[in-house]
């Protein structure tokens, strides 16, 4: 049974002063900053610790080489002097141990606990070896000062490179300094007193001053860098989400990879673009998240949460898809097999059918808004993204005629969307779906041009070249007929609904795109294309291929 606090204190047990919460806080201050052990932070920490250990090991190697060369050329007698062998063994042993630790740190993923011990152990171990060398080298070389300066540099470099709070840095620096200072004091006290020699305390004080200065500078360095890191993390935090890196940008927003503080799952965060968005942009953005959140189809991106930052920036959190958008896929792999195109389009029509049933029109169906991914155990799983231009077909935008707003992507925009008709309906999405199918089959959209105006003119007036005429092989007639029907200039000539499109797609006698084919493709190409997308090597759309949202009324007022 635990003793009363007063009795514990009377017996010299001062642990009673610290509550369990205080002990936990003290222990946390002594731990490495790993951002709750996330893999990315752990990998960065391991890389930083390996850098420090490797740099110190190289420095020791340089000192070893220069010492032996100088001794052989200018002081050959020192090679056989008393203590040289012991100093050499200590120095080379410590250097070898550092290289072994460096290789261990580079050899695979190490746990946070292992990295913490490696960080502290190599720094304190360096001080132990230095204390041994100080007592082996001829005192005329003033090894106390050289080792003190070496320890100072080690502590400051560690503080600047390894993410560590001031408390942990002070603890490691203080222990290392005390060990080396003990070795220095032992050196000077072991020297016989002489009238011509400085007192041992005076000589030790010189080294001690530099060591204390090293600890002080390292703590200040850690606190400054740790504080700046904390400020950056705080600046990149939205509620329970921490932004990690930018992964995309659309017509109205920027998308970041983020992580929830408690759930730890990767999340995509979309923020409204611009520093001072107007009320109409905010309303449109808020409508996007509310309407998309109401959709439950598995092929529609899922919405988790939304809100506004203290600065008034609107954002929402959605599921993060580690996949490949069709724009990148077309750019890297070119036209797709008919079976794969049909498989993708059937998934997209499912998502659009639910949206149209809810009275919503997407208005921006295009390759970059369709993501393919490995979803659970399913491969080639399509997700419809970016309902940023979604419109409630039953509720025109308040205060503005829809005929005054030009929205969509020129390469995939229907003629009536270009005319800004107030009667846009789900068949506009069907036209975009036809243009998407055309691009997937041929590798290029039905119309191209140097400017958005030129492309729009083609949609309004030019005849579509059958996709089979752009390929070295024939297409399945039923599939080609469906694509051309979706691309009719007149809405009345297009399929009446996406459900009809889905029925005709399912009836097309195309070679099947089996799960085996899909898994083979993903095993061969998936990792490469995902890596290119994450690194930004996939590139971005040009101005003609980008989404536009132009308010013609506002343009007229500003003219």
Element containing residue 47 per DSSP (H, E): helix 39-74
Query: Tokens for 72?
Result: 């052989």
In this predicted structure, what is the pLDDT of residue 536?
56
In this predicted structure, what is the pLDDT of residue 275?
46
- The sign of the CA dihedral 265, 266, 268, 274 is positive
In this predicted structure, what is the pLDDT of residue 542?
53
In this predicted structure, what is the pLDDT of residue 44?
81
CA distances from 227 to 32, 165, 183, 418 (A): 14, 8, 34, 52
Residue 76 DSSP label: G
Distance CA 105, CA 113 (A): 13
| Axis-axis angle for helices 20-30, 166-189 (nearest 10) | 70
In this predicted structure, what is the pLDDT of residue 251?
60
Element containing residue 116 per DSSP (H, E): helix 112-134
> How remote is the C-alpha of 169 from its chain's centroid?
27
In this predicted structure, what is the pLDDT of residue 331?
92
Distance CA 384, CA 244 (A): 23
* DSSP string computed for 340-380: HHHHHHHHHHHHHHHHHHTTEE-----GGGEEEEEETTEEE
Distance CA 298, CA 118 (A): 46
Q: What is the model's pTM?
A: 0.59
Going residue by residue through the chain, which has 559 residues, state the pLDDT in tens, using 9 for 90 and above: 444 444 443 444 434 434 444 445 544 555 565 544 466 678 888 888 999 999 989 988 888 888 778 767 776 766 666 656 777 777 788 889 999 999 998 888 888 888 889 999 999 998 898 888 888 776 666 777 788 888 888 898 888 888 888 888 899 989 998 998 888 888 777 766 656 556 666 667 777 788 888 889 888 888 887 666 655 554 556 667 777 788 877 666 788 888 877 777 788 888 776 544 566 666 766 776 777 788 889 999 888 887 777 667 778 888 888 889 999 999 999 999 999 999 999 999 999 999 999 888 888 899 999 999 988 888 999 999 877 556 666 555 433 444 445 567 889 999 998 886 667 889 999 999 999 999 999 999 999 998 888 999 999 999 999 999 999 999 999 999 999 999 999 999 999 999 999 999 999 999 999 999 999 999 998 888 887 776 654 444 455 656 555 444 443 344 4
Sheet of 253-260: strands edge to edge?
237-238, 241-249, 253-260, 266-272, 314-319, 303-308
- Mind listing the domains of the chain with CATH numbers? 22-235 (no CATH), 239-320 (3.30.200.20), 323-558 (1.10.510.10)
């Amino acid at each position: 049974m635990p003793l009363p606090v007063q009795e514990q204190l009377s017996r010299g047990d001062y642990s009673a002063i610290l509550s369990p919460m205080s002990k936990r806080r003290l222990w946390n201050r002594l731990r490495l900053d790993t951002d709750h052990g996330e893999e990315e932070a752990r990998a960065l920490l391991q890389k930083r610790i390996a850098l420090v250990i490797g740099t110190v090991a190289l420095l020791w190697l340089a000192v070893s080489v220069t010492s032996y060369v100088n001794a052989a050329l200018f002081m050959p007698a020192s090679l056989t002097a008393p203590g040289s062998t012991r100093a050499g063994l200590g120095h080379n042993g410590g250097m070898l141990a550092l290289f072994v630790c460096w290789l261990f740190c580079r050899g695979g993923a190490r746990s946070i606990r292992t990295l913490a011990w490696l960080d502290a152990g190599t720094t304190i171990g360096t001080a132990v070896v230095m204390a041994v060398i100080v007592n082996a080298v001829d005192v005329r070389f003033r090894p106390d000062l050289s080792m003190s300066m070496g320890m100072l540099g080690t502590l400051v470099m560690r503080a600047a490179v390894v993410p560590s709070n001031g408390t942990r840095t002070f603890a490691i620096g203080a222990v290392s300094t005390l060990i080396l200072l003990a070795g220095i004091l032992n050196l000077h006290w072991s020297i016989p007193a002489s009238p011509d020699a400085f007192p041992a305390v005076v000589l030790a004080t010189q080294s001690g001053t530099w060591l204390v200065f090293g600890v002080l500078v390292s703590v200040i360095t850690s606190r400054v860098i740790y504080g700046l890191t904390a400020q950056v993390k705080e600046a990149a935090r939205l509620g329970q989400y921490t932004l990690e890196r930018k992964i995309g940008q659309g017509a109205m927003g920027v998308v970041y990879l983020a992580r929830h503080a408690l759930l730890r799952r990767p999340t995509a965060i979309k923020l409204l673009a611009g520093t001072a968005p107007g009320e109409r942009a905010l309303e449109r953005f808020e409508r996007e998240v509310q309407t998309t959140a109401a959709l439950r189809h598995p092929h529609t991106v899922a919405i988790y949460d939304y809100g506004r930052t203290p600065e008034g920036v609107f954002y929402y959190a959605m599921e993060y898809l580690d996949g490949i958008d069709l724009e990148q896929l077309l750019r890297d792999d070119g036209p797709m097999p008919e079976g794969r195109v049909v498989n993708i389009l059937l998934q997209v029509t499912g998502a659009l059918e639910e949206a149209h049933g809810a009275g919503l029109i997407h208005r921006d169906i295009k390759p970059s808004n369709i993501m393919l991914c490995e979803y659970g155990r399913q491969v080639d799983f399509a997700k419809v993204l970016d309902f940023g231009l979604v419109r409630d077909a039953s509720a025109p935008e308040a205060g503005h005629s829809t005929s005054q707003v030009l929205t969509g992507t020129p390469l995939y925009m229907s003629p009536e969307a270009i005319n800004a008709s107030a009667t846009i309906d789900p068949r506009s999405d069907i036209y975009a779906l036809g243009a998407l199918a055309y691009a997937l089959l041929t590798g290029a959209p039905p119309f191209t041009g140097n400017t958005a105006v030129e492309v729009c003119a083609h949609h309004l007036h030019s005849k579509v070249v059958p996709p089979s005429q752009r390929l070295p092989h024939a297409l399945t007639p039923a599939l080609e007929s469906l694509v051309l029907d979706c691309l009719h200039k007149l809405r009345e000539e297009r399929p009446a609904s996406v459900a009809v499109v889905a029925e005709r797609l399912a009836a097309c006698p195309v070679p099947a795109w089996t799960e085996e084919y899909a898994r083979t493709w993903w095993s061969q190409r998936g990792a490469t294309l995902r890596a290119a997308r994450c690194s930004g090597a996939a590139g971005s759309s040009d101005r003609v291929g980008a989404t536009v949202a132009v308010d013609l009324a506002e343009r007229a007022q500003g003219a």
